[in-house]
C-alpha cells in the first residue's frame, strides 16, 4: 500500500479515537441535556429548530435574538419536561398567556428508523388539544426525502385532529420516500396515542387493528417486497456458501436484488445510513434487513475474503454486473479504473469519514448513486452518478464498487482488520518468504476497523461525560451526582455560549415552592466584571481565572408572601445544584461561592451587577474548563443516617 495512504490511515485512527471516542461532545453539541443520556428527554431540538416550529404554529409567540441572530426562546417556552411520558414544552405569548404546547417524539420513537435514521418530530397542539401540525428536527435523513414528504402533505396530515382522531388516522406513506414518511407517520401516531384519553386510545387502537378488506396494488407490492428482501438474502447466503451450485442462477439473484431490494424497498447501505448509525446507534429493530446484512458481512469475513453485502446483496452492485453482461467490454476503461481505484475509493471513504469526525453534518445522499432507486426523492446528482456508472459498467465490471464506493472501502477495512481481505495480501508480503508477520498496513487496518466498529457500537452504551470530557459506561444520573466536585482551577479555554445557555436552562428546571420560580440569573463573561466579583468575595479568588460565572439571585417580587417568603432561598439553592450537575455533565468545572446572608457580600455583588431593589444575590457559580483531573470526594457517612426516628 502506498505510504501516503498508510499515513492517512494513521491520522484518521487518531482523529476517530480522540474526537469521537474520547470526546463525544462535538457529535452531540446541539443535543441539550441529552449530553447526559441519564436525563431521559431524548433528542433536544436546537433553538433555531424550535423557533422555526413556533413561527409556523404559534405566530403570536415572540422570539427575540441575542444580537447574533441566534433565536432566544427562553421567554416563550417552559420546559422541556416529561408529561404523559413525552418530552413537552409549554408555549406562551409575550403577556404570559398559554398558547398551547409542543411535544417531541424523542426518545419514544428513536427506534423507528427512516432511510438514514430516526426522524424526531415536534407536534404542536393548541389549548383545545387540536393538532396544529408536525415539524421535523435533528434528523440524519436526506433533505430530499424530507422535502418530498413535505410536498406530499405528510406534515399537515394530522392538522385540526384531536390526538384520539390522529391515533386512528390512516395515512399512506409516500412512494419514493417510504421509510422516511412511514417514520413520521408512526411517530405522530405514537404521540397521539400517548396524548389521547386511555379509553379513546384503546378504542382507536382496536379499530385500527380491524382488518382492511381491501388491498391496493401498492400495498400488495409493499407486502411482497417486505417478504421478498428476506428471500433475496436467503438466496444470497446459499450462493455464498454454494457458489458452484448457484453460479447458473446468479443472474436471477442479481435481478431480484435490483428489483426487490432496490426499486421496491430502497434498502441499501450507504455512507448516509452508516453515518446515521454512528450518530444515533444501530436500529436493531427498525432496519432489521440492513442490520442483518451488515452483521452477516462482518461475520462472513471470518470465513472468506469476500464482502457478502457487496457481492450478493447490494442492488447497485448487482445492476452494474447486469450491465457488464451486455458485452461492451473495453480494456482501456478497465485499465483506467484499475489505475485510479487504489486512490479514489480511499479518498471517497476518508472524505465521508471527515464529514462525521469534524461534525459537518452534510447530507451525503447526493454523492452516492444508491438513492437513485427511489427517483421521486433522489437528488439529481445521485441519479446522474447512477446513470454514469451504469454506462461505464457496460465497458468494465462494477466501476463504482471498484473505484469509488465508500461503503465497499469500509467493508474492506473491516475485512483487512480481520485478516481475510485480499486488500491485505500481496505478492511482496512476508508470507512469500515463509514468514507470517503482519505488515504495517495490516496493523493500521486492524486499528481502523476496531475504531469504526466501536463507533457503531458506542451509541448503544450508556454514557456520561465527566468533568474531563471522557465517558464512562454503565452510568446514569447517580454517576453525574457522585462525579460532581468543586473545581477552582481552569484552563484558558472559553466556555461556549451554547453551554452557558444549557446551564441556565438546567437551573430553571428546578422545583420551587408553589411553582413561584422566584429567581433571576446574571450570566457574566466579561473579564473586568469577573475580576470585580472576585474582589468582593473573600473565597472567590478563582473567579480571576474563570471564563464565566452565573450569579443566582432571589427575586422577592416573585417570592411567596408573609412567613413563606424565605422559601426563595431553598428554591434558588435547588436551581444552583441543577446548574452544578449540568456543568459536570457538560465537561465543565464549577464551584458554588456563597453570598447571602452575608450582607457585605450581597451588597458588593448587587453594586457591581446593578441589581434593583428586592433582587438578592444568593451565590456566584464560577465556571470554566477544569485544569487537571480533579477527583470527587466520597462524602458518604452511615453515622448520620437515622431510621424512622433519631
pLDDT digits (tens, 9 = 90+) for 201-216: 445 444 444 444 445 5
Q: If we measure between CA atoms, which residue out of 260, 306, 269 comes closest to residue 290?
A: 269
50 in a structural domain = yes
Q: What is the count of structural domains for the chain?
A: 3
Write the CATH number for 524: 3.40.109.10
Residue 312, CB-side half-sphere exposure with 13 Å CA sphere = 26
Burial class (CB in 10 A: 0-12, 13-18, 19+), 206: exposed
Same domain, 191 and 311: no
State how far the Cα of 369 lies from the Cα of 385, in Å rounded to an integer: 5
Q: Given this model, what pLDDT does residue 533 score?
A: 96
DSSP string, 513-558: GGG---EEEEEE--HHHHHHHHHH-TT-GGGGT-SEEEEEEEETTT
Q: Domain check: are 53 and 202 in the same one?
A: yes
pLDDT per residue over 60-112, tens digit each? 775 554 444 445 555 566 666 667 778 888 888 877 788 899 998 987 887 78
Q: Is residue 569 part of a domain?
A: yes
- Per residue in 301-334, pLDDT (tens digit) is 888 888 999 999 999 999 999 999 987 888 888 8
* In-domain check, residue 493: yes
**pLDDT band of 633, cuts 50, 70, 90:** confident
194 and 60 within one domain: yes
Interatomic CA distance for residues 595 and 599, integer angstroms? 8
Is 499 found in the same domain as 393?
no
The answer to whether residue 212 is domain-embedded is no
The residue with greater pLDDT, 109 or 6, is 109
**Integer angstrom CA distances of residue 278 from 183, 321, 353, 359, 572:** 19, 30, 11, 12, 39
- Burial profile 462-485: b = 16 or more Cβ within 10 angstroms, e = fewer: ebbbbbbeebeeebeeebbeebbb
Tell whether 77 and 122 lie within a shared domain.
Answer: yes
Residue with cell 464529514: 355
Separation of alpha carbons 92 and 313, rounded Å:
52
Q: How many CB atoms lie within 10 A of CB 401?
A: 24
Of the three residues 184, 206, 228, the one that is the final residue of a domain is: 206
Q: Assess whether 509 and 450 both reside in one domain.
A: no
Q: Is residue 635 part of a domain?
A: no
Residues 58 and 200 in one domain: yes
Q: Which domain holds residue 358?
A: 269-425+437-458
CA distance 401 to 306: 13
Q: Are residues 297 and 410 in the same domain?
A: yes
List, in order, residues 6 or more apart from 406 with CB less than 8 Å away.
271, 345, 348, 349, 351, 352, 368
Alpha-carbon gap, residue 517 to 554, rounded angstroms: 9
Does one domain contain both 453 and 593?
no
Same domain, 192 and 116: yes
Which residue pairs, CB below 8 angstroms and at least 24 apart, start in 290-297?
292/233, 293/233, 293/269, 294/269, 296/233, 296/237, 297/411, 297/414
pLDDT at 272 over 80: yes
- Same domain flag for 50 and 137: yes
Calculate ∠ Cα 477-481-487, nearest 5°. 135
Residue of 528, 532, 524, 537 whose CA lies nearest to 623: 524
Does residue 234 sit within a domain? no
**Torsion from C-alpha of 1, 21, 27, 409, nearest 10 degrees:** 20
Task: Identify whether residues 384 and 523 lie together within a single domain.
Answer: no
Q: Which grid cell sits at 31?
A: 443535543
> How far is the first Cα of the chain from the last one, in angstroms, to the nearest whole number?
74
Quick: pLDDT tens for 528-577. 999 999 999 999 999 999 999 999 999 999 999 999 999 999 999 999 99
Q: Is 88 part of a structural domain of the chain?
A: yes
Judge whether 240 lies within some domain: no
Mean pLDDT computed over every residue of the chain: 80
> Checking DSSP bridges between strand 548-555 and strand 121-126, what pairing results, if any?
unpaired
pLDDT of residue 519: 97
Q: Evaluate if residue 638 carries a pLDDT over 50.
A: yes
Residues in the chain, overall count: 646
Q: What angle do CA 417, 457, 146 make, to 5 degrees?
A: 110
Amino acid at each position: 500500500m502506498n505510504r501516503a495512504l498508510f499515513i492517512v490511515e494513521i491520522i484518521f485512527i487518531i482523529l476517530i479515537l480522540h474526537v469521537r471516542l474520547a470526546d463525544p461532545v462535538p457529535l452531540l453539541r446541539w443535543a441539550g441535556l441529552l449530553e447526559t443520556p441519564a436525563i431521559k428527554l431524548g433528542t433536544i431540538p436546537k433553538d433555531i429548530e424550535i423557533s422555526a416550529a413556533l413561527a409556523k404554529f404559534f405566530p403570536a409567540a415572540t422570539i427575540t435574538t441575542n444580537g447574533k441572530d441566534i433565536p432566544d426562546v427562553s421567554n416563550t417556552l417552559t420546559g422541556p419536561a416529561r408529561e404523559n411520558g413525552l418530552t413537552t414544552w409549554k408555549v406562551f405569548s409575550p403577556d404570559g398567556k398559554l398558547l398551547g404546547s409542543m411535544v417531541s417524539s424523542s426518545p419514544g420513537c428513536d427506534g423507528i428508523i427512516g432511510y438514514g435514521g430516526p426522524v424526531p418530530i415536534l407536534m404542536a397542539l393548541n389549548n383545545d388539544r387540536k393538532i396544529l401540525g408536525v415539524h421535523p428536527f435533528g434528523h440524519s435523513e436526506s433533505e430530499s426525502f424530507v422535502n418530498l414528504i413535505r410536498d406530499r402533505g405528510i406534515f399537515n396530515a394530522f392538522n385540526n385532529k384531536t390526538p384520539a382522531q390522529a391515533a386512528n388516522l390512516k395515512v399512506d406513506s409516500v412512494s419514493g420516500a417510504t421509510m422516511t414518511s412511514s417514520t413520521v407517520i408512526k411517530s405522530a401516531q405514537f404521540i397521539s396515542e400517548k396524548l389521547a384519553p386511555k379509553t379513546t386510545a384503546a378504542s382507536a387502537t382496536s379499530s385500527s387493528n380491524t382488518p382492511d378488506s381491501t388491498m391496493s396494488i401498492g400495498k400488495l407490492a409493499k407486502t411482497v417486497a417486505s417478504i421478498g428482501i428476506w428471500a433475496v438474502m436467503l438466496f444470497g447466503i446459499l450462493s455464498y456458501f454454494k457458489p458452484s451450485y448457484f453460479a447458473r442462477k446468479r443472474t436471477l439473484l442479481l435481478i431480484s436484488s435490483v428489483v426487490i431490494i432496490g426499486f421496491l424497498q430502497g434498502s441499501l447501505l450507504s455512507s448516509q445510513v452508516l453515518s446515521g448509525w454512528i450518530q444515533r446507534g444501530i436500529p436493531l429493530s427498525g432496519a432489521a434487513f440492513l442490520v442483518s446484512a451488515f452483521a452477516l458481512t462482518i461475520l462472513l469475513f471470518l470465513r472468506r475474503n469476500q464482502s457478502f453485502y457487496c457481492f450478493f446483496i447490494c442492488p447497485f452492485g448487482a445492476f452494474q454486473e447486469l450491465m457488464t453482461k451486455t458485452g461492451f467490454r473495453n480494456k482501456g476503461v478497465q485499465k483506467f479504473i484499475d489505475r485510479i481505484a487504489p486512490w479514489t475509493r480511499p479518498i471517497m471513504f476518508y472524505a465521508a469519514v471527515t464529514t462525521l469526525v469534524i461534525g459537518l453534518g452534510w447530507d451525503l445522499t447526493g454523492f452516492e448513486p444508491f438513492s437513485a432507486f427511489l427517483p421521486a426523492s433522489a437528488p439529481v446528482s445521485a441519479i446522474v452518478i447512477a446513470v454514469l456508472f451504469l454506462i461505464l459498467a457496460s465497458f468494465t465490471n462494477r466501476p463504482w464498487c471498484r473505484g469509488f464506493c465508500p461503503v465497499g472501502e469500509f467493508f474492506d477495512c473491516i475485512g483487512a482488520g480481520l485478516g481475510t481481505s485480499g486488500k491485505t495480501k500481496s505478492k511482496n508480503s512476508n508470507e512469500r518468504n515463509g514468514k507470517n508477520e503482519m505488515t504495517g498496513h495490516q496493523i493500521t487496518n486492524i486499528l481502523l476497523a476496531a475504531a469504526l466498529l466501536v463507533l457503531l457500537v458506542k451509541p448503544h452504551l450508556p454514557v456520561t461525560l465527566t468533568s474531563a470530557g471522557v465517558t464512562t459506561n454503565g452510568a446514569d444520573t447517580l454517576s453525574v451526582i457522585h462525579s460532581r466536585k468543586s473545581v477552582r482551577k481552569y484552563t484558558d479555554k472559553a466556555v461556549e455560549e451554547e453551554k452557558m445557555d444549557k446551564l441556565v436552562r438546567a437551573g430553571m428546571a428546578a422545583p420551587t415552592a408553589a411553582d413561584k420560580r422566584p429567581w433571576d440569573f446574571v450570566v457574566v463573561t466579561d473579564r473586568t466584571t469577573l475580576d470585580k466579583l472576585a474582589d468582593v468575595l473573600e473565597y472567590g479568588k478563582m473567579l480571576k481565572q474563570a471564563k464565566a460565572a452565573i450569579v443566582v439571585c432571589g427575586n422577592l417580587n416573585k417570592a411567596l408572601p408573609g412567613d413563606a417568603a424565605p422559601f426563595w432561598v431553598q428554591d434558588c439553592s435547588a436551581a444552583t445544584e441543577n446548574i452544578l450537575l449540568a456543568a459536570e455533565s457538560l465537561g465543565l468545572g464549577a464551584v458554588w461561592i456563597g453570598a447571602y446572608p452575608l450582607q457585605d457580600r450581597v451588597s458588593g455583588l448587587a453594586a457591581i451587577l446593578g441589581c434593583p431593589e428586592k433582587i438578592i444575590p444568593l451565590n456566584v457559580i464560577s465556571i470554566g474548563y477544569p485544569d487537571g483531573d480533579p477527583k470527587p470526594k466520597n462524602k458518604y457517612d452511615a453515622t448520620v443516617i437515622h431510621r424512622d426516628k433519631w
